[in-house]
Amino acid sequence: MVKRLFTLISTVFILLNTQAYTADYITNVGGGNHYNGQRGQYFNGKTYFIFGGGGDNWLDPMIMSYNHKTALVQGPVKIGENPLSAENDFHGNPGMVVDNDGYIHVIWGGHGSYSGEQKYARSTAPENITSWTYLNNIEPESTYPNLLTLSDGTIFLFYRDGNHRDSWVYQTSTDNGDSWSQKVEVLVSGAKRNDGIYFEENYYDSWYATRGVYKGQNDTIHIIFSYHACANDWGKNYHLQRRVNMYYIKITPDEKWLTARGTQLPHPITREVAENKCRIYESEIKKGENIVYSVYPNSLDSDSTDKPYISMRVRLHPNYSVFDGEPKFLKWSGNMWELFDSRSAGQVIVISPNDIEIYRACPTT
């Protein structure tokens, strides 16, 4: 049934519905790009899931739930207004998490200082999608919220702290989102480069970890990301093409930052550290064609021994955008990273090292 919820897309719900009911399919507005962290979570017999589905351009944050015992659906319920709806800007898509007490946390609406403002809502009651409390205690100019919870109830929030050339950071909350820790820098951005690797002119360090953070075994945190050679090239294809390579780090509960092999890393992660220690896939560069074959990370899951498995898309043709490249699959064998062709790219679920599922959104006919 979980597969149905996340892969089948059908009728639109125009009116908000807070009563439970049965339905064969859920919504046809659950797609779109810029999935910001997780958009669904199972908790205490129900799966809660969010999507852009109201307001201008169907981008206001909506939530629904599915009861696995009774097969009843509740929602959709509109959580709030998306400041980016009128601009048709998908960067403000929502990210969510359910904390250990059952409160549902949703963040949406921000795209750095370019436009919008990051909004934060928490369900007024545990396991209830009908009423929301709005808090003004997160970074308003952040982008790409990634949320998860740890076993002690700590909420982990990872995001880009502003625009393309701003760093990625995390904050934590130990009181259900009432307050947040100081920012901890993870990926260092903004350094100026003129090495000629990606551009003849200057460019700047930037990173993409849009769906970058995943909880592993025993509260480890896995982070996957790609490098963006960010030049003054707005409106050109270079802005999509220069998102290259795949990198990986793991943070342990005792604050050790590690490679998959277990080598301890200095932190925060600079480009030099990433290239020398964290790179797990290298993009091809064809200087004569002035094309870089880009990489887009989709998701990660870990097995019972905490080995990571990664789904991604690789741009292997000049006519592809970074968003519709060919699916690839990476896994850590215990000694090395192994690369495989894949039939699909999407959400990885590792049942066992020999039983791996990938779920993706697709239209129905």
Question: SS3 sequence, the chain?
Answer: CHHHHHHCCCCCCCCCCCCEECCCCCCCCCCCCCCCCCCEEEECCEEEEEEEEECHHHCEEEEEEEECCCCCEEEEEECCCCCCCCCCCHHHCCEEEECCCCCEEEEEEEECECEEEEEEEEECCCCCCCCEEEECCCCCCCEEEEEEECCCCCEEEEEECCCCCCCEEEEEECCCCCCCCCCEEEECCCCEECCCCCCCCCEEEEEECCCCEEECHHHCEEEEEEEEEECCCCCCCHHHHCEEEEEEEEECCCCCEECCCCCECCCCECHHHHHHHHEEECCCEECCCCEECCEEEEEEEECCCCCEEEEEEECCCCCCCHHHCEEEEEEECCCCEEEEECCCCCEEEEEECCEEEEECCCCCC
C-beta atoms surrounding 167 within 10 Å: 19
Q: Is residue 282 part of a domain?
A: yes
Domain extent, residue 300, equals 188-365
**Contact between residue 323 and residue 33 where contact means Cβ atoms under 8 Å apart:** yes
CA atoms within 13 A on the CB side of 168: 27
Structure tokens at 120: 């934060």
Which pLDDT score, from 0 to 100, does residue 15 have? 39
**Contact between residue 36 and residue 146 where contact means Cβ atoms under 8 Å apart:** yes
The residues, any chain, with a CB within 8 Å of residue 360's CB and separated by 6 or more, are 7, 344, 345, 346, 347
> How far apart, in whole angstroms, are the C-alpha atoms of residue 78 and residue 178?
22
CA nearest to 210, candidates 291, 113, 323: 323
Total structural domains within the chain? 1
- For the full predicted model, state whether its pTM sits above 0.85: yes
Q: Is residue 346 part of a domain?
A: yes
Q: Is residue 265 part of a domain?
A: yes
> How far apart, in whole angstroms, are the C-alpha atoms of residue 309 and residue 275?
20
In the numeric block, the tokens 């690369």 are attached to 339
Instruction: Find the Cα–Cα–Cα–Cα dihedral 343, 242, 185, 61, rounded to 10°.
Output: -60
Q: Which residues of the chain have pLDDT under 50?
A: 1-15, 364-365
In the numeric block, the tokens 């519905």 are attached to 17
Structure tokens at 242: 């220069």
C-beta atoms surrounding 170 within 10 Å: 20
Q: Is residue 180 part of a domain?
A: no
Structure tokens at 171: 């904050």
**Contact between residue 121 and residue 145 where contact means Cβ atoms under 8 Å apart:** no
Rg, Å, the chain Cα set: 20
Q: Is residue 5 part of a domain?
A: no
Q: Is residue 327 part of a domain?
A: yes
Which pLDDT score, from 0 to 100, does residue 286 have? 64
Q: Is residue 159 part of a domain?
A: no
> How far apart, in whole angstroms, are the C-alpha atoms of residue 189 and residue 282?
19
Q: Is residue 98 part of a domain?
A: no
CA nearest to 206, candidates 191, 238, 228: 228
Which pLDDT score, from 0 to 100, does residue 37 have? 80
